[in-house]
Structure 1
Amino acid sequence: MPPSAFTPEGGSEASVSLREVGEFELIARVATHRAQPATTVLGPGDDSAVVAAPDGRVVACTDVLVEGVHFRLDWSSPEQIGRKAAAANLADVAAMGAVPTALLVGLACPSSTPASSLEKLADGLWAEATPAGAGVVGGDLTSGPVIVLSVTALGDLQGRAPVTRGGARAGDRVAVCGRLGWSAAGLAVLGRGFRSPAALVDAHRTPAPPYAAGPQAADAGATAMIDVSDGLLADLGHVAQASGVAVRLRSSAFAVPDKLAEMGSVLGLDPMTWILTGGEDHALVATFGPDTPLPEGWAEIGVAEAPGEGGPVVTVDGRTWDGGPGWAHFTT
């Protein structure tokens, strides 16, 4: 594998390995001198953390990122990998209409991994969690042949009902908030051996989910919601199946950003495929009643209807999208 930020060259402090530093010294390095949010009653350092749950209910989710599957060490820095891992989970919390409160992190990595790289990974987790209102409150560290990062996020509904995938009804409008297709375009750029345009590459390395838009949509009366992790069509397919509706999207509702159009032209690819099937942007897509005003920042892209002969499917301009729905684990 090409050299990466996880395998720095030279004999400086930057290359001191986890084997030399030890598990507990590294934990002390990444867990101390961090400002926890008010919801953290007891942070790292004990058998468990204690996180306040004023609502009485806790939203919880977990994502696992595996080296070579979800990230490449020659494409992303440790800090970018930490931010990406945090974003994937924080977006899931927001998609329930909740506010993030805490992250728990499980990490497996080779003992030769530089300790400084793991500190930078922790910096990335904190850099993403802090603006969202969450703290990194604990976790576990173990050895393994490749880097595997498992992050659990907790969230507070603050009195709201959770917005699930199963609440969409015929007649609801479908709307999206956040970027679509940018991460997939950045992945395509990296896959061709390029590192620019930076805006696309950085969108793949560090997504920018609209965390506040989740609770905002819940307060506005969203009937169903999901974050776009596997692709808009694939994730709306989950909503369609759970709600028993057909989702009809209009291609004319999507404005193709100039950077996506330009890169699509360079690579000979249709940028609409990135927008409709590209994952890991972690935009939020939701359904709203026909008379419900859309919150600021949300754009209508289609409608939910009673399923016809095709069942609860997602179509674009009345047809199944030729490029497939998006990412599918174990089959893609």
Structure 2
Amino acid sequence: MSIAEAGEFGLIARIVARLGDGRADVLGPGDDAAVVAAPDGRAVASTDVLVEGRHFRRDWSSAADVGHRAAAANLADIAAMGATPTGLLVALCVPTDLDVAWAEELAEGLAAESALVGATVVGGDMSSSPTLTIAVTALGDLGGRAPVLRSGAQPGDVVALAGRTGYAAAGYTVLSRGFRTPKLLVEAYRRPAVPYVQGPAAAQLGATSMIDVSDGLLQDLGHVATASVVGIDIRRDAFEVPDQMRDAASALGVDPYVWLLAGGDDHALAATFPAGVTLPPQWRVVGSVHEGTGVTVDRKPWQGGTGWDHFR
């Protein structure tokens, strides 16, 4: 059945049936607007958009994969503020000849990724469009804590990373060259493994700044350096190249550190902490903050791209 055959309200009913309930729901889909609990009295909000052909390809990823990625891109932003995600709003623009089953599977992916943090899809909108587009807005709760900003890094802080970098970028390169293996890398591109709980944990540990690594570690840390008016240096030896990534890089003629330092879409969390803070094993120190500007690698300018730019 195509979406044109199902009709708008038939499609809405099919999608809503797959979304589930979340702890923040006061009133979910079905009325003009949802009502979401905000126990802290403040709401953290972020939005992101995925466009077919620009951010995903249906021949590379299943509908569920795209749902996971769309949710993760927004939920990670909430975690990077030190908040707990609570709800998602999804706007879906689809070609009318798209199979209803694809939209249903997308909803299942959105719901499954949201469930990892106890959030849910609370509402949204849809329209016909010649280009398949998914726009997501995420909401979160700070739990009484101050938000962790990009502007708080101080000289003497350490830079630490939770999660992995380079895997999704490697998977993207593999897929773009027409291959489907190694599975470890391809699956990392299709569905990021985001360390959501480490966002609020970092806030409790006293993180001075934090950011979601969505566009590339060096580029995103550049935002922290600019906002905090500091310099940041990253140690290359802090990054281990896994065997499958090393083998893929060799076969494709790519420096694996380009993936690790400039690759996006893994949604790791990068944060700065005061020197002397004892970090749990989920966080590894990869660099330091100093007086100055910009981001360097082993105290030298990085030669090459630093990350993704939508308009480049």
Give the TM-score, by structure 2 length: 0.99
Paired position in structure 1 for 2:306 = 325
Structure 2 unmatched runs, 5+: none
The CA deviation string for residues 273-296 of structure 1, in whole angstroms up to 9 with x for no partner, is 100000000000000001211233
Superposition CA RMSD, Å? 0.9
Equivalent residue in structure 2 for 1:314, among 295, 302, 305: 295
* 1-structure distance, mates of 2:114, 2:177: 31
Equivalent residue in structure 2 for 1:177, among 140, 144, 162: 162
Paired position in structure 1 for 2:25 = 40
Task: Say whether the 8 Å CA contact 2:87–2:119 is kept in structure 1.
Answer: yes
* 1-structure distance, mates of 2:182, 2:245: 10
Equivalent residue in structure 2 for 1:132, among 117, 137, 148: 117
CA shift for structure 1 position 33: 6.0
CA shift for structure 1 position 100: 0.5
* 2-structure distance, mates of 1:133, 1:212: 11
Correspondence 1:1-332 to 2 at 5 A: 16-32=1-17, 34-307=19-292, 312-331=293-312
Number of residues of Structure 1 aligned to a counterpart in Structure 2: 312
Task: Say whether the 8 Å CA contact 1:180–1:281 is kept in structure 2.
Answer: yes
Structure 1 residue matching 2:151: 3-state secondary structure? coil
CA shift for structure 1 position 34: 4.3
Structure 2 residue matching 1:166: 3-state secondary structure? helix
Amino acid at match of 2:310: H
The CA deviation string for residues 191-237 of structure 1, in whole angstroms up to 9 with x for no partner, is 11001111100100111110001001000000000011000000000
* 2-structure distance, mates of 1:196, 1:169: 42
Paired position in structure 2 for 1:5 = none
* 1-structure distance, mates of 2:253, 2:2: 43
* 2-structure distance, mates of 1:283, 1:330: 23
Amino acid at match of 1:129: S
Task: Say whether the 8 Å CA contact 1:220–1:295 is kept in structure 2.
Answer: no
Structure 1 residues 33 and 18, CA gap change in structure 2 (3 angstroms): closer
* 2-structure distance, mates of 1:262, 1:32: 43
Amino acid at match of 1:330: F
Following superposition, which runs of at least 4 residues in structure 1 exceed 6 angstroms of deviation?
none
Amino acid at match of 1:255: E
* 2-structure distance, mates of 1:46, 1:107: 17
Structure 2 residue matching 1:303: 3-state secondary structure? strand
Structure 2 residue matching 1:171: 3-state secondary structure? coil
Amino acid at match of 2:265: E
Structure 1 residues 84 and 33, CA gap change in structure 2 (3 angstroms): closer
The CA deviation string for residues 66-88 of structure 1, in whole angstroms up to 9 with x for no partner, is 00010011111111001100000
Give the TM-score, by structure 1 length: 0.93
Amino acid at match of 1:52: A
* 2-structure distance, mates of 1:26, 1:215: 36
Query: Taking every aligned residue pair, what percent have the same amino acid on both sides?
Result: 58
CA shift for structure 1 position 32: 2.5
* 2-structure distance, mates of 1:273, 1:114: 38
Task: Say whether the 8 Å CA contact 1:107–1:140 is kept in structure 2.
Answer: yes
Task: Say whether the 8 Å CA contact 1:217–1:295 is kept in structure 2.
Answer: no
Task: Say whether the 8 Å CA contact 2:20–2:111 is kept in structure 1.
Answer: no
